[in-house]
């Protein structure tokens, strides 16, 4: 029962680390309590994108006449959408299990708890069995944050209030919905249910949507969704959840909004209790497991990756952190560069960004210049989009002539933004980028068009 590495948590960080470590020659045990794939695969990234793609097809059918396609009697079968979602999850979970077995990693279902450290190594218990390892990777993920608002707990118990987990199992499209929180998850679910026919209201404490999204892009997305019928209450604080209604305060006045369902989407908190972290002295800071840029904790040969360290709660961040943790276990001195990791909102239109925003460069007093163009400067974008201009905005370091950040709104942005992440990671200068050949016609050419404005 002795391993080189024990991983607690089978989400993106855990399962990728298990595969990489096993291929790297480490005898690895992966412990997962609920289901392989974690939140991302089972109740987050993948199922939400499945729903959003159905909504995109629906929108395309409704507006097909603009492209010469006339379709009548268009409906969305929500139950069929959910069935397809479940099939997608099943397919991908099967694939992950296959890859892990092929790599040689062992998978154990159950709750892992660290008991301490002995001459055998770190001791982890799963039920009445104990396992030892020279190294540990904590990848226990996160859970929805439930704010201390009156009536929220009771609303969750009676099914009026839903988290990201329950919203993906809802059997019918509600006539009306209030989304509490205008971040990425809240906006994506508002987008789906708006397309599906719900009357959606988003209540957000900040004066803008999208969190740290560049404000100019955020404003475009806001106006686009207002036109689609989504109502927004910004700078508003929810004060109470009542019987089929949400009470909130705005500008010193109190309001209430009736709804059939409420989606609670105000962030996530790391899963740090019940795993025995305190038994080996793992340092926790502000509710997160504290790690350095190599994913090391304060305890020798104990690492943490994914949502549990709270650095950037995205699945692809977890992938990179997992790889960096494993590479350092194997002797490679690599770090995570969070500034080159993209963020995406899979609404319709899509939003994607990487690096600094105009607000962050101003806050950091960096010398920069901005260049931007409508997505209409891409021939393919014009050919495939009607009545939406989109925008690509790039921030340049005035002295180094490298990219500080890129922000895009318009479909295909999610598939393009990684390229700018590479440019930031490699510190390519404007003149270097001008020598890159982009395929034509593609929406990605908008990057080249913007760069050549400099």
185, 264 contact by CB (below 8 A)? no
Of 142, 441, 148, which is closest to residue 306 (Cα–Cα)? 142
The C-alpha atoms of residue 146 and residue 266 are separated, in whole angstroms, by: 8
282, 275 contact by CB (below 8 A)? no
Burial of 431 (0-12, 13-18, 19+ CB in 10 A): exposed
185, 48 contact by CB (below 8 A)? yes
The C-alpha atoms of residue 413 and residue 58 are separated, in whole angstroms, by: 20
The C-alpha atoms of residue 278 and residue 116 are separated, in whole angstroms, by: 9
Residues 6+ apart with CB under 8 A from 16: 318, 319, 322, 323
Q: Which residues are catalytic?
A: 440
Q: Which residues pair with 180 in a beta bridge?
A: 203, 264
452, 431 contact by CB (below 8 A)? no
Strand, coil or helix: 78:
helix
Residues 6+ apart with CB under 8 A from 236: 203, 204, 205, 248, 249, 250, 255
- Centre a 10 Å sphere on the Cβ of residue 388 and count the other Cβ atoms it contains: 17
Strand, coil or helix: 277:
helix
Query: What is the number of residues in the chain?
Result: 454
Q: In what order do the strands lie in the sheet with 343-345?
A: 343-345, 351-355, 403-409, 391-397, 368-373
The C-alpha atoms of residue 261 and residue 421 are separated, in whole angstroms, by: 38
306, 139 contact by CB (below 8 A)? yes
């Amino acid at each position: 029962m002795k391993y080189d590495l024990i991983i607690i948590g089978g989400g993106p960080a855990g399962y990728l680390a298990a595969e990489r470590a096993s291929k790297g020659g480490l005898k690895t045990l992966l412990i997962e309590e609920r289901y392989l794939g974690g939140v991302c695969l089972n109740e987050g990234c993948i199922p939400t994108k499945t729903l959003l793609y159905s909504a995109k097809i629906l929108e395309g059918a409704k507006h097909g006449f603009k492209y010469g396609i006339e379709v009548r009697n268009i409906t969305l079968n929500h139950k069929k959408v959910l069935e397809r979602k479940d099939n997608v999850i099943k397919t991908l979970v099967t694939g992950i299990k296959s890859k892990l077995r092929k790599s040689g990693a062992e998978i154990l279902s159950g709750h892992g708890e660290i008991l301490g450290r002995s001459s055998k190594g770190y001791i982890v218990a799963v039920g009445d069995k104990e396992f030892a390892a020279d190294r540990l990777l904590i990848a226990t993920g996160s859970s929805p944050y439930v704010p201390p608002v009156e009536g929220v707990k009771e609303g969750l118990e009676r099914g009026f209030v839903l988290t990201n987990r329950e919203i993906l199992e809802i059997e019918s499209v509600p006539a009306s919905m209030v989304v509490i929180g205008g971040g990425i998850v809240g906006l994506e679910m508002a987008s789906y249910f708006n397309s599906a026919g719900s009357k959606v209201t988003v209540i957000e404490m900040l004066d803008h949507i999208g969190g740290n999204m560049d404000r100019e892009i955020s404003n475009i997305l806001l106006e686009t969704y207002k036109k689609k019928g989504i109502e927004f209450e910004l700078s508003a604080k929810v004060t109470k959840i009542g019987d089929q209604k949400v009470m909130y305060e705005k500008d010193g006045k109190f309001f209430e909004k009736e709804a059939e369902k409420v989606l609670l989407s105000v962030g996530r908190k790391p899963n740090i209790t019940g795993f025995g972290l305190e038994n080996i002295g793992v340092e926790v800071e502000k509710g997160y497991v504290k790690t350095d840029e190599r994913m090391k904790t304060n305890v020798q040969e104990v690492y943490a990756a994914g949502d549990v360290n709270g650095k950037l709660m995205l699945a692809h961040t977890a992938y990179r952190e997992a790889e960096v943790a494993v590479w350092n276990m194997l002797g490679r001195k690599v770090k995570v560069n969070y500034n080159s990791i993209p963020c995406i909102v899979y609404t319709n239109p899509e939003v994607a960004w990487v690096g600094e925003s105009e607000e962050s460069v101003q806050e950091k007093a960096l010398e920069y210049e901005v260049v931007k163009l409508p997505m209409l400067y891409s021939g393919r974008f014009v050919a495939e989009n009607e009545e939406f201009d989109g925008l690509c905005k790039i921030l340049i370091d005035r002295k180094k002539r490298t990219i500080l950040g890129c922000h895009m709104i318009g479909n295909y942005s999610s598939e393009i933004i990684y390229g700018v992440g590479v440019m930031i990671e490699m510190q390519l200068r404007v003149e270097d980028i001008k020598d890159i050949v982009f395929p034509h016609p593609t929406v990605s050419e908008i990057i080249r068009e913007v760069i050549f404005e400099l």
